Amino acid sequence: MAPNDNNPNTILSGVASSSGIALGRAFHVDRNVIQVPHHRLAPGTTEHELERLESAFVLSRHQLHEARIKLTGGDHLQILDTHIAFLEDPQLERNIRAQVTAKMINAEWAVNEVINEVASVFDRSEDSYLRERRRDFEQISQRLLANLMGLHQDGIEHINEPVILVAHDLSPADMAHINREFILGILTDIGGQTSHTSILARALEIPAVVGLESITREVKTGDLLILDGFAGRVMLNPSLELIDEYDTRRRYHLQVETELRLTRDLPTVTADGATIQLSANIELPSEIVALRTNGLNRVGLFRSEFIFLIGTQTPDEEAQYHAYREVVEGLGPNGVTTIRTLDLGGDKLHHEASALHETNPAMGLRAIRLCLARRDLFRTQLRAILRTSAHGKVRIMFPMISGIEELREAKAELESMRRNLREENIPFDETCEVGIMIEVPSAALIADLLAREVNFFSIGTNDLIQYMLAIDRSNEHVNYLFTPAHPAILRAICSIIDAGHHAGISVAMCGEMAGDPDYVMFLVGLGIDELSMTPHNSLRIKRLLSRFTMEEARQVAQHALTLQTSSEVSDYVITYVRTHYPEEFWVPDWCEDGPCLTRDPEREPMI
Ligand code: PEP
Ligand code: MG
């Protein structure tokens, strides 16, 4: 709907990036995109230009280090470190200097040229995370330009009353200045689920809606707003009635969160006492803070490739060892860390000049295939993981396994790294378990054969659905077909779990389906042993699990397996669990007599 000053309750929709509700006045972070001056240098002035450039680099690094001092940890620190690392990478400065001298252009122009070039490499990537990383370079470029041109950037640190921030985008340095006491919510024009602002807003537990496209045009400082971080909506000029309603929702949400926290230290069992392991999916070591907040001490999926993606250089054995060790030690003596070996495509190794250009990278030289093609990378990682196993329980997991030969080759590499470490007298856990992701249809079909060769399975539904149903998981045009409820997916999951159990190994799930409350009963009914998910989801899943018995879950699963279409399955499974355990499915809809249960097809499952 087009916004209109005279029209109360105007609604704008964006991406629901951090849950929660905020009511308050807007604070517009005015950050006009800098107009870059272009001019050729007069002969003899190059040295002076290079000095200006160097000063801008020094000042930019200093500003980021200052912002860093104010932070104590978490994702924002990690992202700020990434910016610092980019700025400290001598190659970046060298490339810009080369432009100044070779083309005789001013430093601002050269900064723009080089950063645009780097950003375009990220743009071409198939991976949405990498595409989002282009913002890192844009933000670094804006900082360098502002310092070259003597412009002032900040203002957020001076906020001393409760407001909702409205910005085109916020950089990690902006986020470092956020005073949690005064920032009620965040709204931005651009960004998606994996953009920095979203990651950081979730880490700081600030409600946020991103990707609103025109929020900076529609809203000015002082405007009254309601932010619904569940539904990804913003209400401009809300009526008193709407304010009242949302305030009740907000208080209700806080009450639900407080009650959930009380279950933090309770065991994860069904109503009849069967234990289901809950664990977390993480991308970076800093996320272990979120595990502790949610009472978890297991990592079911550590997507190790993110350590490779955030820096400017491929991390060596020592750097990887320290990152893995940080997680293992952070989880304490009873912790378990499942480290998945690199799940990168050829195009994602952005430090390497030889990036491949594949027309279909999802089916290309990705994950275990890349590792077997690039043994140097693989061996280094295996050594780092094995060394980490001397500090706590570590499990190694290979992604994208599609056949026995591939698995045996990967295991042979692992064995040879074990031998090397023994020869070098470097300690590691000789009993370290080895497992695989089941996420390729061929692996699902030969799960019985694969199960004899490993200690555990973890089902990756994100890719399993993509490959089984032939639906690109990041293509919004076919997103409506992407569902775990397809009978083929249900059957595949059932037979993978049976094959694993038949061979006496445990079967986990770490795809998004594992954290979806609508499908938890079904998965438990099939006998899943472990569910690995975003840490924030785990308390709700734990409480839901405690409500039903194994027998009830089995009946739901068996009936679901008899159904013929995706909609029959989803109608049955979802309706069953939502009508039997309605209190576990709070969604921010409101009926006359209180919170009510509706399923908004535009929204992700509410958890
Ligand atoms: C999956 O495919 O389900 C999975 C967990 O792996 P990723 O999302 O990292 O591909
Ligand atoms: Mg996968």
What is the DSSP track for 151-200? -----GGG--S-EEEEES---HHHHHT--TTTEEEEEESS--TTSHHHHH
Asked if 322 is an active-site residue, the reply is: no
pLDDT value at residue 507: 98
Contact 525, 556 (CB under 8 A): yes
| Spatial distance between the Cα atoms of 99 and 254, rounded to a whole number of angstroms | 54
Which residue's CA is the closest to the ligand 1 atom numbered 9? 303
Between the CA of 114 and the centroid of ligand 1 the distance, in Å, is 33
Write out residues in the chain with pLDDT < 50, as ranges.
Answer: 1-6, 346-347, 350-351, 353-354, 588, 597-607
Between the CA of 191 and the centroid of ligand 1 the distance, in Å, is 21
Ligand 1 atom having least distance to the Cα of 399: 6
Long-range contact pairs involving 41-44 (C-beta distance under 8 Å, separation at least 24): 41/100, 41/104, 41/105, 41/106
Between the CA of 460 and the centroid of ligand 1 the distance, in Å, is 5
Task: Give pLDDT tens digits for 114-124.
Answer: 888 877 777 76
Domain 10-31+154-260 has CATH 3.50.30.10: yes
Q: What are phi and psi of 166, to 5 degrees?
A: -125, 120
Between the CA of 566 and the centroid of ligand 2 the distance, in Å, is 22
Sole residue written with tokens 């978490």: 74
Q: Which ligand is nearest the CA of 342, by number?
A: 1
Please name the fold of domain 263-594: TIM Barrel (3.20.20)
Between the CA of 281 and the centroid of ligand 1 the distance, in Å, is 10
Task: Tell me the one-letter amino acid at 550.
Answer: M
The architecture in CATH of the region 46-149 reads Orthogonal Bundle (1.10)
Contact 384, 432 (CB under 8 A): no
Label each residue of 445-490 as H, E or C.
Answer: HCHHHHHCCCCEEEECHHHHHHHHHCCCCCCCCCHHHCCCCCHHHH
Task: Tell me the one-letter amino acid at 567.
Answer: S
Ligand 1 atom having least distance to the Cα of 301: 5
Which residue's CA is the closest to the ligand 1 atom numbered 4? 460
Sole residue written with tokens 């926290």: 261
CB-based burial of residue 120 (10 Å sphere; 0-12 exposed, 13-18 middle, 19+ buried)? exposed
Ligand 1 atom having least distance to the Cα of 461: 3
pLDDT value at residue 332: 93
Ligand 1 atom having least distance to the Cα of 513: 3
Contact 407, 450 (CB under 8 A): yes
Which residue's CA is the closest to the ligand 1 atom numbered 6? 460
Ligand 1 atom having least distance to the Cα of 281: 5
Which residue's CA is the closest to the ligand 1 atom numbered 8? 462
Write down the domain spans for the chain.
10-31+154-260, 46-149, 263-594
Strand-pairing partners, residue 457, are: 436, 507
Residues, beta carbon < 5 Å, ion ligand 2: 439, 460, 463
Q: Which ligand is nearest the CA of 340, by number?
A: 1
Kindly compute the dihedral angle of the four CA atoms of residues 559, 563, 569, 573, in this order, to the nearest 10 degrees.
Answer: -10
Pocket lining for ligand 1, CB < 6 angstroms: 301, 303, 343, 439, 460-463, 510-511
Q: Which of 305, 308, 458, 510 to mutate to test the pocket of ligand 1 (most atoms within 8 A of CB)?
A: 510
Which strands sit side by side in the sheet containing 21-28, from one edge to the other? 10-13, 233-236, 224-228, 21-28, 163-167, 183-188, 208-210, 15-18
Q: What are phi and psi of 177, to 5 degrees?
A: -90, -5
Which residue's CA is the closest to the ligand 1 atom numbered 7? 462
Q: Which of 76, 177, 196, 486 is flagged as catalytic?
A: 196
pLDDT value at residue 384: 98
| Spatial distance between the Cα atoms of 548 and 545, rounded to a whole number of angstroms | 6
The tally of CA atoms less than 13 A away on the side-chain side of residue 108 is 16
Asked if 510 is an active-site residue, the reply is: yes
Between the CA of 300 and the centroid of ligand 1 the distance, in Å, is 12
Which residue's CA is the closest to the ligand 1 atom numbered 1? 460
CA 353 to chain centre: 26
Between the CA of 246 and the centroid of ligand 2 the distance, in Å, is 38
Q: Which of 437, 440, 461, 464 to mutate to test the pocket of ligand 1 (most atoms within 8 A of CB)?
A: 437
- For 438, the 3-state DSSP assignment is strand
Q: Which of 193, 281, 402, 462 to mutate to test the pocket of ligand 1 (most atoms within 8 A of CB)?
A: 462
Ligand 1 atom having least distance to the Cα of 462: 3
pTM: 0.70
Between the CA of 425 and the centroid of ligand 1 the distance, in Å, is 35
| Spatial distance between the Cα atoms of 429 and 328, rounded to a whole number of angstroms | 13
- DSSP 8-state secondary structure symbol assigned to residue 396: E
Q: Which of 341, 363, 439, 533 to mutate to test the pocket of ligand 1 (most atoms within 8 A of CB)?
A: 439
